[in-house]
Chain A
């Protein structure tokens, strides 16, 4: 049952021999080009930035729990919300997905031995770690860290309004992490196009891999613009370039355009990986194939396409953008996102749904993302945006979105932790983490919608008691404590699993994609043998040969094509002897033989 029938002998021994001298510990961390090691490095580093940013959020909530608060000075408060946003957006949510989980999982899901460019992959990580550390070093400078908000609007970000080394470090840090992201994007796209195992056609890839392909392409569209804009900003600050300065004939609003041309695709660079994680986990825990697989793929592609033409919905109140166009484009994103929601529900529909921790986090993702989605539709309407822009309504909106993504990330942690370490996390502690996080998210951020509607602007260090914001702010701060507890329980879970391991086995979730065919953790170069890949669920087909994906009642264009080509491998031949896979799986209705075929 292997398509590499003539190779196992060589494979069985060579990895051990080849890597007998491989370093361990610190040297391994510093020198490895193995995607699994780099993926883990990325994940751990990103989680550290998440914890730091979370502590800053706790300080912010402590400050706002009382009116006229003097806990933090205005200057410190401004640094805190700037660095909280920067760490979370630039150094956690994105990198943990495309540098961490995807780096680890994508080669496994497509049956590849590593990423396409392992050294470039290592460079990505070191640029990311270097950039992130550089940003944090702002706190060590005399002028202290950047304090112009994570969006760094010009001309507040020029050398007169925000002088000092902290803001410069922030800019250079993001140039470095920008390059890091671009290299990771190149790596992901190349890996997915060129390193799929024989039989892994494009339309057999897990949705997570699909979404990482589209994310990689979006990175290549968005990050070069942002990285260039940062270089321009640096030139403005140090060379007097006047690109964003009225005084020299420059255009301040150009920064907003460039920033958000990156910033909105960035939202989907952050979101699509977690959409993918959630899609695959729901299918596994419902014991069913993904409902509307191809609809899901096309929804992902349309979201990515639309996301490049909606940036100015962040700029409705500038008065210098074409409102109806950007409003319509933003509304339209709701359609593919809606398709995804119904596909997720459709996957559970008539399934057999089990609520282990990863699945619970997926449900939390659905419930919370829906709040962010519906309020996003409201904000896509220019008149409503005029009333709520830059208030806590917007803060609440994107925290609903991002906290949903964080729940997606936790779903991914709990789902793949056994694969990465060979150990299970504790279910009880996992469920406690989920409930604290789900309730905490809603207690923290739902009152902020009301705060925004009452007229509380964002990024204010203090508010007067007479404004009537006190009670809602206190509820919100109490919610933040719940979130803090949830993350603490998660850390305890990690320690417990480390001290008293429960072995995971190869496939603890009865999952269906290729990463579950290898050992936990996987050996060097990932696979000793690869099962035949004749559907979207190679591992499921192997474990449940009698429960293949059913065909639609009526043949569609795909079925007709397959018959015309004389091969119906996808659906009919699953139970056949797998040896033919050695020459490649033949052409199915979607084309592709595992090589670089789209």
Chain B
């Protein structure tokens, strides 16, 4: 009885594999499943992992849903007196569905570690350094040189915002700029409670934790203005702890930086 079942499972798995390959090769770009493709090189690395893992997840889910539906339909009770054969297991099948998930876990863990190392890598000499501070309820973005001297500063003007949230792009929230194609290193801190610096289009968020200094790099690959939120609940006006980030050409970035220079800061 086991063999037929195993064969059936094998056939289903073959179809699933074919489907996955067709999806991967057929389209010239990976499906987004609703996610952002990533406006930074780090975000794009995350996106590729997201897309492949979601494909794998959908394939597994469709197979399992299929099996559930098949068992429901094929073995529905047709005769109220019917009592099926009272078997309680099938060792080959049980081993099969223990080993296959272990192998899948091995694969996704490997690719996860590869992607994670890319996303978390820090450049030794970033072109721009920004110290981002989260506070109740706003952000400050302090551009510094490699010695930590402040070059320019952008920050939330009004700590207790008006009651209605405007778009994060509106002028009442701070906007900082990044140069296209160059690596910016962000040093993230918090002075009061836990916040999360979160830019959806960069596929990245990191907690601003009191007592901890977090560092990460962004290398933007696309110009544009992107919204940013505080993602970790931080008290009364959490929903209005908004900001935006503009990715511009290196030239206009330097113009902008000079126009925001703090006194005695930029040359």
Tell me, rounded to whole Å, the shortest Cβ–Cβ distance linking B73 to chain A.
9
B35 in contact with A334 (CB, 8 Å): no
Name the CB-closest residue of A to B237: A74
| Residue picked from A287, A334, A375, A455, most chain B C-beta under 10 Å | A455
Q: Do residues B35 and A453 form an inter-chain contact, with CB atoms below 8 A?
A: yes
Chain A residues positioned under 8 Å from B216 (CB to CB):
319
Most buried by B among A292, A349, A450: A349
Q: Is the CB of B34 within 8 A of A450?
A: yes
| Contacting pair A370 B86 (CB below 8 A) | no
CA distance A561 to B82 in the complex (A): 34
Which residues of chain A have C-beta atoms less than 8 A from B192's C-beta? Answer: 155, 161
CB of A48 within 8 Å of the partner chain: no
B35 in contact with A549 (CB, 8 Å): no
Q: Is the CB of B227 within 8 A of A455?
A: yes
With A161-B193, A161-B235, A319-B206 known as contacts, the answer to whether A246 contacts B211 (CB < 8 A) is yes
Q: A153-B232, A348-B71, A352-B83 are in contact. Are A462 and B164 (CB under 8 A)?
A: yes
Q: Does B260 contact A (CB under 8 A)?
A: no
**Does B36 interact with chain A (Cβ within 8 Å)?**
yes
Q: How far is the CA of A506 from the CA of B212 in the complex (A)?
A: 61
Does B262 sit at the interface, judged by CB under 8 A?
no
Asked whether A387 and B88 contact (CB < 8 A) given A153-B194, A317-B196, A381-B53, the answer is no
Q: Are B112 and A381 in contact (CB under 8 A)?
A: yes
Q: Give the residues in chain A near B1, CB-CB below 8 Å.
A: 350
Question: CB distance B238 to A459 under 8 Å?
Answer: yes
Chain A 160-182 near chain B by CB (<8 Å), digits 1 or 0: 01100000000000000000000
A51 within 8 A of B: no
Cross-interface CB contact of B88 among A290, A377, A383, cutoff 8 Å: A290
A462 touches B84 (CB 8 A): no
Q: Please pick, from B61, B82, B105, B206, the residue contacting A317 in the complex, using a CB distance under 8 A.
A: B206
- Render B189-214 as a binary contact track against A, CB cut-off 8 A, 1 for contact: 00011101010110111110111101
Whether the pair B198, A390 counts as a contact (CB closer than 8 A) is: yes
**B88 contacts A386, C-beta separation under 8 Å:** no
Residue of chain B at shortest CB distance from A282: B71
Contact flags B42-64 to A (C-beta < 8 A → 1, else 0): 01011001100110011011001
Q: Does A331 contact B (CB under 8 A)?
A: yes
Given contacts A381-B108, A383-B115, contact A457 B34 (CB under 8 A): no
Separation of A504 and B42 alpha carbons in the complex (Å): 62
Residue from A251, A324, A343, A453 in contact with B33 in the complex, judged by beta carbons closer than 8 Å: A453
Q: Number of residue pairs across A and B with beta carbons under 8 Å? A: 288
> How many angstroms between the C-alpha atoms of A336 and B258 in the bound complex?
58
Q: What 1/0 mask marks residues of chain A from 444 to 466 whose CB sits below 8 Å from any chain B CB?
A: 00000110011101111111101
* Chain A interface extent, by class: 35 or more
Closest residue of chain A to B213, judged by CB?
Answer: A319
Partner of B205, one of A246, A287, A375, A389: A389
B101 partner, pick from A290, A334, A354, A466, beta carbons under 8 A: A334
Interface membership of chain A positions 287-324, coded 1 if the CB is closer than 8 angstroms to chain B and 0 otherwise: 11111110100000000000000000000011110011
Query: Is the Cβ of A455 less than 8 Å from the Cβ of B108?
Result: no
Given A286-B75, A334-B101, A390-B198: A319 in contact with B209 (beta carbons within 8 A): yes
Given the known interface contacts A70-B164, A378-B53, A391-B231, the answer about A320 and B97 at a Cβ–Cβ threshold of 8 Å is no
Closest to B49 in A: A383
Q: Once the chains are docked, how many angstroms separate the CA of A460 from the CA of B102? A: 38
Q: Are B88 and A454 in contact (CB under 8 A)?
A: no
Determine how close the nearest CB of chain B comes to the CB of A551; give it in whole angstroms: 9
Q: Is B168 in contact with A464, judged by CB distance below 8 angstroms?
A: yes
13 pairs, A vs B, C-beta closer than 8 Å: A78-B235, A155-B194, A293-B88, A293-B89, A352-B75, A352-B78, A353-B75, A383-B116, A390-B233, A391-B198, A450-B34, A463-B239, A466-B167
- State the 8 A-B residue pairs at the shortest beta-carbon distance, nearest first: A455-B200, A460-B239, A387-B203, A348-B71, A390-B231, A289-B88, A459-B233, A466-B167
* B interface residues with partner A (beta carbon < 8 Å): 1, 5, 33-36, 43, 45-46, 49-50, 53-54, 57-58, 60-61, 64-65, 67-68, 71-72, 75-79, 82-91, 93-94, 97-98, 101-102, 105, 108-109, 112-113, 115-116, 119-120, 136, 163-169, 192-194, 196, 198, 200-201, 203-207, 209-212, 214, 216, 227, 229-239
